[in-house]
Amino acid sequence: MACERCGAPSVIDRPYDGTHPCARHLEASVRERFRREVHLQFPRFAGGRIAVALSGGKDSAVALALTHRYFARRPGAEIVAITVDEGIAGYRPPTIAKAAELCRSLGVRHEIVRASERIGTTTDAAALRLADRPPCGPCGVWRRQLLNGAARELGARVLVLGFNLDDLAQTVLMNLAKADVDRLVRMAPHRQRQDGLIPRIAPLAEVPEREVFAFATLAGLPFDHGECPHASAAQRNVFREVVWRLEEARPGTRHALLRTRERIVELLEAAGVGGAPMVCLRCGEASTGPVCRACQLREAAAAGVMADGGVGPS
Ligand code: SF4
């Protein structure tokens, strides 16, 4: 196939819009969607620190490289990459090495935040202590809290996440399937500032995972290809499969899921639904109840028992 814009060989097909761009036009289109989303999600930048969550994988590598390019010439902008080390043996160390390599090549400051030091436990420990459920629950909750805390300590105006279109469509479907409207509203990208939370934006929201991968490869960005040893147990896998099948059968479904979430959030905001977050009595972080989920999971992992009766090995 040839690129419909210039006739050069196509590197990818995009059934959702009927195009098959060449490398040059794919890169330009990813950059343009990124630029448009930054403009929409973070419109009034007047200088300051921009934190970027950097895992060492392809998505966050592309998010950092494009954030660096976008803000490089803006006066007063400083980019800091934050990597969370959740404590996953054999998986996290090589991704941290790739993250550090990318930061060095871009000249970006790199901060590493360790769950073992800040939470007092690790994802691997949670997997052992709460063996009846996947460790992705605590891992994700702790990571979000650590990223928010680190971004706040750095005085960041915003936290850039590398979520791509597939990630976000899966999250929307997961929350809809669980009737979890609160999480649907709270998920990134944030439409409104929330007390205690650094606004999170997802400028790759309109870019499918395949295109992010192609962009990272074409741009020669260093990123790690490894898979977390706990990934096979993740609940998300079912939704990844469902979203993939829906997209195959009806191209454009992922975009439609994002629009569904936006419409629900608009309606809830118009109705005045959704209050300010509380403050956790244990750690002082933003919370939806008296004790935040991160503290609940930390205590459960220490005891080997979940509040709902699920147990880990003694
Ligand atoms: Fe954490 Fe699960 Fe992701 Fe592994 S797959 S890094 S355990 S959220």
Nearest-CA residue for ligand 1 atom 7 is: 136
- Please report, for the chain, the start and end positions of each structural domain, with discontinuous segments joined by +: 27-278
Pick the CATH number of 27-278 from 2.30.30.30, 3.40.50.620, 3.90.1170.20, 3.30.420.40: 3.40.50.620
Give which of 153, 147, 138, 90 is closest to 114, Cα–Cα.
147
Ligand 1 lined by 226 (C-beta under 6 Å): no
Q: Quick one: which H or E segment has residue 48?
A: strand 48-53
Centre of ligand 1 to C-alpha 295, Å, is 18
Q: What is the pLDDT of residues 267-302, one digit of tens each?
A: 988 887 765 578 999 998 888 889 999 999 999 888
Most confident of 88-92, 130-134, 271-275: 88-92
Q: What is the pLDDT of residues 55-83, one digit of tens each?
A: 999 999 999 999 999 998 888 999 999 99
Supply φ then ψ for residue 197, to 5 degrees: -115, 130
Q: Identify the three-state secondary structure at position 181.
A: helix
Which one-letter amino acid corresponds to residue 89? A
Ligand 1 lined by 177 (C-beta under 6 Å): no
Ligand 1 lined by 139 (C-beta under 6 Å): yes
CA–centroid distance for 103 within its chain: 18
Asked if 253 and 246 touch (Cβ cutoff 8 Å), the reply is yes
Q: What is the pLDDT of residues 94-130, one digit of tens each?
A: 999 999 999 999 999 999 999 999 999 999 999 988 8
Give the dihedral of Cα atoms 229, 61, 27, 16; nearest 10 deg. Answer: 40
Ligand 1 lined by 123 (C-beta under 6 Å): yes
Which pair of structure tokens corresponds to residue 35?
């630029």
